[in-house]
A and B are shown apart, each in its own frame.
Chain A
């Protein structure tokens, strides 16, 4: 008997490159450890935002406000993206990290630095600030060297190209940051608001933003199960964001309003391409809407709010108070664009990495005895609660900052911290539950052969068209 549902042709490679070898995948503990620290970073960021709500609202230069922003950028977002890059880069490029040990060392340097640096800001400790800055910069250089192994592989498409450029911008952002930490102590030059904004936009758009825009081109079709007829919008998005960011940054540093405006126009065009790409993925999806759609669509709304707030701050003649609020709103909305995207994708990435590791360790059955699936590793109501809390945090934060409402900013921080706590407990407890059930099964069947009841299977399809 032969089953020949569809007569296949044999193209040499798919559009996304040849099949990925398992040899390229780093050990699961490496990305998972990074991602655990990122979730803890989200809890820390939310808590700091709740505590420093008054200074964050209206006085963005206050030490506790600067500390809060850095906690969000470093301990949450950058930690998550660095961790994901240690998985995504090798897997998509089909080439190993230069060194898994270097990946561990990067994490051991980065995580303490990402917390010490905000602490030093908040407590006025210049020497500690410099030490944390140098440590973070060292970690970034180590990450760049390590990730250059897979990311320098040519012909791997827009996602790898974009991530490669994002890592370059990460090194530049860290170089800016460590320079500023020394400047704050020794006063080599005035740390004017436009210079701070140059740093912020380099990090938010050039590093984390570009990384997301690039990686999304791989993750969205995969996780949302979409076969798009064209990837042109996404390809342009990566190139325009990557090309526009340095123009914006140079424009802010010189300073030059026309140059900043041109750069902003290029970046916005790229972000529009990113949204068009998302619309294409949604339109060509081949399954019903699910929670990740909710995360990425809400995240996209935050991006639109950020662009709108930036346009208000840049194009209208506002009082200092209103301009400050608009810029705060823009930066926070950009943070939530990326934050919601990170939290949403973690609910797909973590179960996938964990599933592979658990299968290797022999945990192959779900509690109902059927084969273990990704869905068994996440509690769906808890994931929906995370979505609700993070959306609440993003929305109240934006309204609070735009309107100068301290209470709303405090609520935002509390909701984000709660979202981080629920996400962390959900993603950690899912696998632990399966392991505990397997152990109980093993104890129950001690001395007897392991039950290997096969899952019920439907009749084989004779033909499919």
Chain B
């Protein structure tokens, strides 16, 4: 049995994910709204993340970078304490970016 995940662990992982950037858009993946779920499981941090589009340019590397960042935040033994999955429903949209970043980037609000 490993150590249980604490709120402090979640805070560290949250901060770590703020350091993982989408290289196309230039925002971190938390601000982008790519993290759909971040919560404590029994012994692991459970992360569901998505990408801007299926097959996006960093679809192979960004989830792995996020997983490694989370693992580092939970060291020692962080590799075994992260359960990150890529999910596609609901599809990501710019609605999920916070308003200031949205306006700065020139994204369009989805109306259809």
Contact = CB atoms under 8 A, between A and B. Distances in A.
B93 A286 contact: yes
Given A20-B59, A287-B108, A1 B33 contact: no
A19 B63 contact: yes
A7 B101 CA distance: 22
Interface string A1-36: 111111111110111110111100100000000000
Interface in A426-465: 454-455, 457-458, 460-461, 464-465
A258 interface: no
Contacts of A355: 23
A218 interface: yes
Contact of B55 (A222, A225, A284): A222
B55 A288 contact: no
A425 B37 CA distance: 43
Interface in B48-65: 48, 50, 52-61, 63-64
Given A8-B36, A460-B18, A461-B31, A371 B53 contact: no
A262 interface: no
B23 A1 contact: no
Nearest to B90: A6
Contacts of A285: 108
B100 to A, nearest CB: 8
Contacts of B56: 222
A373 interface: yes
A15 B94 contact: no
Contact of B89 (A1, A10, A91, A225): A10
Given A286-B94, A287-B106, A464-B98, A375 B26 contact: yes
A194 interface: no
B88 A14 contact: yes
B57 A9 contact: no
Nearest to B13: A3
A118 to B, nearest CB: 34
Nearest to B55: A16
A123 interface: no
A11 B89 contact: yes
Contacts of A10: 48, 85, 87, 89
B23 A372 contact: yes
Interface of A is mostly: loop
Nearest to A159: B55
Contacts of A227: 53, 91, 93
Interface in B71-112: 85-91, 93-98, 100-101, 105-108, 110, 112
A355 to B, nearest CB: 6
Contacts of A398: none
A152 to B, nearest CB: 19
Nearest to B17: A460
A22 B67 CA distance: 15
Given A19-B60, A373-B26, A8 B33 contact: no
A92 interface: yes
A457 B91 contact: no
Contact of A286 (B31, B98, B108): B108
A356 interface: yes
B35 interface: yes
A16 B54 contact: yes
Nearest to B62: A19
Nearest to B107: A287
B33 A21 contact: no
A359 B61 CA distance: 10
Chain B CB within 10 A, most for which of A6, A20, A227: A6
A6 B36 contact: yes
Contacts of A19: 59-60, 63, 86
A-B pairs, top 10 by smallest CB distance, nearest first, are: A16-B54, A14-B54, A288-B106, A2-B39, A14-B88, A16-B55, A371-B21, A8-B36, A457-B18, A9-B89
14 contacts: A2-B38, A6-B33, A6-B90, A10-B48, A14-B54, A19-B59, A21-B60, A22-B64, A225-B52, A455-B21, A457-B19, A458-B28, A460-B31, A465-B95
Interface of A: 1-11, 13-17, 19-22, 25, 91-92, 218, 221-223, 225-227, 284-288, 348, 352, 355-356, 359, 371-375, 454-455, 457-458, 460-461, 464-465
Given A8-B50, A20-B59, 20 more contacts: A2-B10, A3-B38, A5-B36, A6-B33, A6-B37, A6-B90, A8-B36, A10-B85, A11-B87, A14-B88, A20-B55, A222-B57, A225-B53, A226-B53, A457-B28, A458-B18, A461-B33, A461-B98, A464-B33, A464-B98
